[in-house]
């Protein structure tokens, strides 16, 4: 069954990590001038057109992100931009692995073209998809990929 079919509402979490609340202000040469509110609105609008409710959250703390991932176990999926925690947080990795919903990781910049410590994500082995280097448009790609993963997992 596709998202939004059969009277059920598909609900996903859009979770952003540390410093992403400063989108549009922090390093615009890397991250652009789009704000987090702009990203959340674009993803919410796309979600509505796909029959998906998007719940947005942002945390600058690792524990806060883990809590949001745990809460998402009652939802249908997660789009996550873990920010710098992608490179260091085994706690977030373990939370994603423990929650039985599909998850797509997104990064605004191409992490492979940046400093060496950013070239890997400890989360990537436990997510269902990984998108980087597409700017804020990557969030829309991530939502579309997540919706596809949710549809693939749905019976019937």
The model's pTM is 0.90
Is 90 one of the annotated active-site residues of the chain? no
C-beta of residue 14 within 8 angstroms of C-beta of residue 54? yes
Asked if pLDDT for residue 30 goes beyond 80, the answer is no
Q: Which of 31, 68, 85, 139 does the annotation list as catalytic?
A: 31
Is it the case that residue 28 has pLDDT exceeding 90?
Answer: no
pLDDT digits (tens, 9 = 90+) for 101-153: 999 999 998 886 666 766 679 999 999 999 999 999 999 999 999 999 999 98
pLDDT exceeds cutoff 50 at 1: no
Annotation marks residue 107 as catalytic? yes
Catalytic annotation, pick one of 68, 85, 107, 139: 107
Domains of the chain: residue spans and CATH: 5-153 (3.40.50.9100)
Own/partner pairs for 40-43, CB < 8 Å, 24+ apart? Answer: 40/14, 42/136, 42/139, 42/140, 43/14, 43/79, 43/139, 43/140, 43/143
């Amino acid at each position: 069954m596709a998202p939004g079919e059969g009277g059920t509402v598909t609900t996903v979490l859009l979770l952003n990590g540390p410093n992403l609340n400063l989108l549009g202000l922090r390093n615009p040469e890397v991250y652009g001038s789009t704000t987090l509110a702009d990203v959340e609105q674009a993803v919410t609008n796309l979600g509505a057109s796909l029959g998906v409710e998007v719940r947005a959250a942002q945390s600058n703390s690792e524990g806060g992100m883990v809590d949001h991932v745990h809460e998402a176990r009652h939802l249908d999926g997660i789009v996550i931009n873990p920010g710098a925690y992608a490179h260091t947080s085994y706690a977030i990795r373990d939370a994603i692995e423990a929650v039985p919903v599909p998850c797509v990781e997104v990064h605004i910049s191409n992490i492979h073209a940046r400093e060496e410590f950013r070239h890997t994500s400890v989360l990537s082995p436990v997510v269902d998809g990984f998108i980087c280097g597409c700017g804020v448009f990557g969030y829309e790609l991530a939502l579309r990929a997540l919706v596809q993963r949710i549809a693939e997992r749905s019976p019937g």
